[in-house]
Structure 1
Amino acid sequence: MSAVTRSRASRTRLRIALAALATLASSVLTALPAPAAEADTAAAGHLTGTLADGATWIADVPERWNGTLLLFSHGFGPAVAQDAPTADVRTELLAEGYALAGSSYDPNGSMWALNSAERDQFAALDAVTAEIGTPRRTLAVGQSMGGLVNAQLARDGGGRIDGALGQCGLVAGATDLDNYQLDAEYTIARLLLPGQDLKLVRFDTAADAATTAALLTKAVTDAQGTAQGRARIALAAAFLNLPAWSPGKDRPAATDWVGQEAQQYDWFAQGILSFVEGGRYAVEQSAGGSNSWNRGVDYARLLAGSAHAPQVQALYRAAGLHLDADLRTLTEHATITADPGAVRTAQRTSAAGQGLEVPLLDIHTTADNLVPVEQENRFAARVRAAGDGALLRQAYVERQGHCAFTTAETVAALHALEHRVGTGRWDDAATPAALQRSATALGLDGAAYVPYQPARLTVGRSPSRV
């Protein structure tokens, strides 16, 4: 049985120092409270405990619990229990009457904790309900890597959870992630560091990953000074599914190819490759080897499927470079193979979209540098193929950055999910117009829901075909 401690503070703030690689932003999860008398609760306050595998869990229960429990799945970073994305989120939720819970995932392995996350979240749910009583309703919430965990809970949690809200979720899974990131890394290494034997996969240590990240970042920085270099940076950015809109900048015009590349470069200059390589090391730890490959990839065909292809073509023409020659070079030298066992492990532990058992609403920013919005397209196609498209809704916020949601945007999304859970129908609750009206009416911190259809994810292969 879990060891439990209690404090009576109903709005305890938790500030957690996450690794620099893990980017989390503010979101708020609230809904219309039910009468307190409907809740079956034995205790209020801050609860903690430890699970069988060493994972910890926490929960915060308000004095007047509305009977709904939110099970939060945190993103990539240290294995520290969280039950909300930020202290502000926690304060708002507790004020609305929600109970909050979440686990650390197993702290003894990789920060890519997909080997244990789903199991630990369900175990935390059991531990919390043993302490506070059975919720009237349980909703899963997850962001970033936790959005992938959240999609798995929505797939497997029928009878244990009633619905799920995903934020900026890495829903395409680990192998798609590592493959399109490999295409970008490989392009930089082959075209901007020709002749150098740069290690791109199978990192032995985190230091190896950091060394590769530093070399790739310096190559990009050096190349930005010439038209030829900028064209090749745009090619790598296209393979990375990198948005052409960076923080603090106005969005470039649709045919402002130079402006688009400049803002893609901003993401590189801010250190995105350190996140990429550090994340790859963690995934390889978790999967037991390299789950990415490029042998057999036709890079001309890959670029042709990218929404950024016109930009790349225009910049190559302006620079006097032969795009076909560079693409042919990439294809001819693509020899990196995967470890089949690692691919199988990642597909078993770190994939989603095989189906849904409860309603899932995903929200995503349109210019997400770390988890490209195109992942939602890939995920939706898999859910539809499994026959569960009616359970999925996706909505988009016009903003730059990863998980960069306002409080109002998240509140409105949760309300839309609760409408679906409560009525059995989505109606128009999850449409951009309805979400924007709902968020604006809250009078909090603004909203930017827009009609949007993400492009296809540029990845060019399937985890089932190694």
Structure 2
Amino acid sequence: MPNRLLTRACTLGATIALLGAALTGTATAGSVTSTAPTAGHRTGTLADGATWIADVPAHWNGTLLLFSHGYGPTIAADAPTTASQQELLAEGYALAGSSYDPSGSWWALDSAERDQFATLDAFNRTVARPARTLSVGESMGGLVNARIARDGAGRVDGAVGICGLVAGGVDLDDYQLQAEYTIAALLLPGQQVKLTGFSSAADAATTAGRLTAAVTAAQATAQGRARIALAAAYLNLSDWAPGLNPPAADDPAAQEAQQYVWLAQGLLAFIENGRWSIEQSAGGNTSGTAGTDYARLLSGSEHAAEVRALYRQAGLDLHADTAALTRGAGIHADPQAVRHLEQTSTAGQGLAVPLLDVHTISDQLVPVQQEQAFAQRVRAAGDGALLRQAYVDRQSHCNFTTAEIVASVHALDHRVSTGHWDGQTSAAALQSAADRLGLDGAAFITYRPGRLVGAQPIN
């Protein structure tokens, strides 16, 4: 209610200012006039203490890109990268974005959507009302962006998500915990490993260190590598690592070796820190293992054949390991924390405006399979015609060229202008559009992601 009253008060204030300007013949900041707003950088503070920034080019084309940043320090940003910021400004786009609430968790879903809409209001008041507003978000901000695309009718005209965590926080915590539990149970048998309920970032880092050390030691044996592959399957972990060629589909040893590269590079440290932040936000543990059938869970993974082959080669009984995991699964989620995460950190209940999602096909932090789960939910809501998804043939999270980002914005801009996608989001069309920019290249590819292991069923 206070935010609603604040919005009404601001709207009333702007109306009074406009009336005064009309009577005196002068223009005020935020009024819609034929005079272009002054170019430059703007900053401000929102009601919850979040900061917002905006950049306006000298020759503004009337379109505002509202950017939602990813997981990390709550610092305002208005573009994915410095290079994309410069190119988009040069093309005439204005940019804006908020920090989200700086007093809360880095998992800032409690405030992010609200703060992004408040940033739009602040831009309207202090710069001008855009002719068109497009929402853009990356990583965790891709989840914010998907929520804006669901809730933003009348406020935004379309959205572009890049490397977005679109399956949401509930699925993320669930499948990550399944993998962490598998590592602890099979590679550190008989040891007590704290997997949830972290009291601090240091507490989470201790668990990450133990799990990473266990994986490193296990990589030395065939039995250990088979069990690493099992955990990687539950994690939806890509088998194509940076600096390497993709492994052959019939080479399970090479597939596991590249999954190990991701894990050895500190992936678990990032995951455990994220779990601590999510628990901070939700007020408790948001995922559990109890009641999980680990054999059935594996059967839904695109890496199941790899796991079975490595278990055979190692002389291990896969059924015995999955049965032991099922018997020992005893972690229970806090229902209230789960409800909180469901309310703040999911987005797959439909779309109100067109959304183009772009993802690298080998993303170690937000698996590309999240796009499959999200699309299924959007279609179930009857909004499939509003969604398009595109893929880039590259490794690593949010690893896009400037040309890929700008071409994606152009494709959405076309959709909003014409009311039709017109094939502009096909791999060939996006590649051609990116190449024409003459920037830093692109690698769009026709691709269909596999199933997200551990995804919650559609309600």
Length-normalised TM-score, structure 2: 0.92
1:377 and 1:455 in contact (8 A); partners too:
yes
RMSD over equivalenced CA pairs, Å = 1.5
Give yes or no for the alignment of 1:296 onto 2:315: no
Q: Pairwise mapping of residues 60-71 of structure 1 onto structure 2 (< 5 A)?
A: 60-71=55-66
2:84 and 2:406 in contact (8 A); partners too:
no
2:373 and 2:455 in contact (8 A); partners too:
no
Q: Pairwise mapping of residues 8-19 of structure 1 onto structure 2 (< 5 A)?
A: none
The residue aligned with 1:449 is: 444
Runs of 4+ in 1 over 4 A off after TM superposition: 37-40, 460-464
Which one-letter code corresponds to 1:337 in the other structure? H
The residue aligned with 2:300 is: 305
Match 2:217 to one of 205, 217, 222 = 222
Match 2:387 to one of 383, 392, 398 = 392
Q: Pairwise mapping of residues 90-129 of structure 1 onto structure 2 (< 5 A)?
A: 90-129=85-124
Match 2:408 to one of 406, 413, 416 = 413
The residue aligned with 1:5 is: none
SS of residue paired to 1:293? coil
1:39 and 1:135 in contact (8 A); partners too:
no
Instruction: State the alpha-carbon separation in 2 of the partners of residues 375 and 44 from structure 1.
Output: 39
1:343 and 1:463 in contact (8 A); partners too:
no
Instruction: State the alpha-carbon separation in 2 of the partners of residues 180 and 413 from structure 1.
Output: 29
1:144-167: CA deviations, max 9, x gaps? Answer: 000000000000001000000000
Give yes or no for the alignment of 1:83 onto 2:85: no
Give yes or no for the alignment of 1:157 onto 2:148: no
Match 1:166 to one of 155, 161, 167 = 161
How many Å apart are 1:39 and its aligned residue?
Answer: 7.1
How many Å apart are 1:412 and its aligned residue?
Answer: 1.4
Instruction: State the alpha-carbon separation in 2 of the partners of residues 219 and 38 from structure 1.
Output: 64
1:41 and 1:132 in contact (8 A); partners too:
no
1:40 and 1:135 in contact (8 A); partners too:
no
1:56-75: CA deviations, max 9, x gaps? Answer: 00000011111110000000
The residue aligned with 1:423 is: 418
Instruction: State the alpha-carbon separation in 2 of the partners of residues 55 and 411 from structure 1.
Output: 27
Which one-letter code corresponds to 2:386 in the other structure? L
The residue aligned with 2:24 is: none
Q: How many residues align?
A: 430
Q: Pairwise mapping of residues 309-320 of structure 1 onto structure 2 (< 5 A)?
A: 309-320=304-315
In structure 2, relative to structure 1, the CA distance for the partners of 1:461 and 1:132 (3 Å cut) is closer
How many Å apart are 1:43 and its aligned residue?
Answer: 2.2
How many Å apart are 1:86 and its aligned residue?
Answer: 1.7
Instruction: State the alpha-carbon separation in 1 of the partners of residues 243 and 34 from structure 2.
Output: 45
Residue segments in structure 2 that go unaligned for 5+ positions in a row: 1-5, 8-31
1:166 and 1:360 in contact (8 A); partners too:
yes
1:245 and 1:260 in contact (8 A); partners too:
yes
2:167 and 2:347 in contact (8 A); partners too:
yes
The residue aligned with 1:368 is: 363
1:266-325: CA deviations, max 9, x gaps? Answer: 000100000100000000000111110111110000001100000000000000100000
Bigger radius of gyration among the two: 2
Instruction: State the alpha-carbon separation in 1 of the partners of residues 35 and 131 from structure 2.
Output: 8
Match 2:143 to one of 145, 148, 163 = 148
2:149 and 2:355 in contact (8 A); partners too:
yes
How many Å apart are 1:408 and its aligned residue?
Answer: 1.2
Provide the identity percentage: 67
In structure 2, relative to structure 1, the CA distance for the partners of 1:118 and 1:40 (3 Å cut) is farther
The residue aligned with 2:428 is: 433
The residue aligned with 1:193 is: 188
How many Å apart are 1:256 and its aligned residue?
Answer: 1.0
SS of residue paired to 1:270? helix
SS of residue paired to 2:73? coil
Give yes or no for the alignment of 1:265 onto 2:290: no
Instruction: State the alpha-carbon separation in 2 of the partners of residues 183 and 192 from structure 1.
Output: 14
User: More helix by proportion, 1 or 2?
Assistant: 2
In structure 2, relative to structure 1, the CA distance for the partners of 1:353 and 1:168 (3 Å cut) is same
